[in-house]
Amino acid sequence: MKKTILLSILAVAVTAGCTSSETRKRASGNFDYLEVTEAQMLKVPDDLKRPPLSNRYELPEAQSPHKILGSDVLIDSPRLVLPLVNGSHVEEGSEKATVLFDQIDDSKPLDTTIWDTVLGYLEVNNIAVESFDRENNTLVTDWVISRKNIDSSWYEFNEEVTEQARKFKLTVDVAPHGRTAKLNVENVAFVDENGDSQLANISPFELRENEVNFLNYIIQEYDFGIRLAQNERIALIRDGFQSELGFNPDGDAAFVVDAAYENAWPRLLLVLRKMGFDVIDLDQSSGLMFLKYNGEDRPWYSGIFSDEKLDLDKVNYRLLVQAVGDKTAVTFKDSDNKAFEVKQATNLFTVFSEYMAEENLDI
């Protein structure tokens, strides 16, 4: 009995060892249909009338130059483009290795962001650039070397590695409005492990796999870059900014924050809440906030150690936020859109600057 079980286990192991990962990707079984020849036309004697013929079930000629028959038929799932980046998506029904990006960061043009990502990925992975036409938004890589282990039987302990080389052409197509761009990857050259050029002989399935895999690596790099930039920006905003009394571009008394507009804006939302303002409405594109003052959000014991408080009526106010170079001007106004006088702004500045500079500000 034990001997029978042992032999069964060995038989299963040998069978599994004979099935490679490459074999499992392809159709298997009976391929007798490859030996079938076309049937001859019906022969009708001369003295009989030929019946009407129909081409209803006639199979069209294959459009692909590749004869994909028998074991050449791949049965595993095709490679899919993975639009991991916020604002990215794929074209429905497209067979190309293409992804579309929407503009998320307005600090620089979308095509510049894409090319910075591509060049960064190539540099990190030591992939040289054969040509780069920035004006026409096209780039051709140098040889991209891939290494693959050759499948061996389960009882063989040595592993053989083969090397293949590919070149890719990347194209960026920017929409006329500049807010969406399409990145396409095309495999333009392929050399097998024997050093022979085989691009013309690659099946459409393998060609798509090559292109989509390379594109997905770039998408991952794009996503990593966005998340890294967001984390750095969040850390910068939480650390706080210094500010000083000054004037806005219109000459009104204002608080000049030592931060770029896109960083000062979200920080202001935290500061205003701590100062006791509720934001009723806001429009970041125009730099306007509509506020209501409800009283400063300070602990009950803070008045024991400090006399600082806001001398403001609990009514509605307005806030004008303006970019001034690499700094930001914040102007407090009353409900009639009249800017605070210098004295009134000065009385407000101490509390404002304290919260604006406070690290890890929490609401």
Highest mean pLDDT among 26-40, 53-67, 194-208, 242-256: 242-256
Mean pLDDT over residues 195-219, rounded? 87
Q: What is the pLDDT of residues 260-306, one digit of tens each?
A: 998 999 999 999 999 999 999 999 889 999 999 987 655 544 444 44
Mean confidence (pLDDT) of the chain: 82
Q: How confident is the model at residue 16 (pLDDT cuts 50, 70, 90)?
A: very low
Lowest mean pLDDT among 109-113, 264-268, 292-296, 326-330: 292-296
The DSSP H or E segment spanning 265 is helix 261-275
The answer to whether residue 246 scores a pLDDT higher than 80 is: yes
Q: Please return the burial class of 354, using the count of CB atoms within 10 Å of its CB with bins 0-12, 13-18 and 19+.
A: middle
d(CA 359, CA 354): 10
Residue 64's pLDDT is 61
Residue 118 has pLDDT above 60, yes or no: yes
Q: Give 124-163 pLDDT, tens digit per residue.
A: 999 999 999 999 999 999 999 887 665 555 445 555 667 8
Cα(141)–Cα(185) distance, rounded to whole angstroms?
Answer: 11
Q: How confident is the model at residue 201 (pLDDT cuts 50, 70, 90)?
A: confident
The percentage of the chain sitting over the pLDDT mark of 70, rounded to a whole number, equals 82
pTM for the full predicted model:
0.63
Give me the domains of the chain, ranges plus CATH numbers: 77-233 (3.30.530.50), 240-357 (3.30.310.170)
Look at 13 and 92; give whichever has higher pLDDT: 92
Per-residue confidence at 60, pLDDT binned at 50, 70, 90? confident
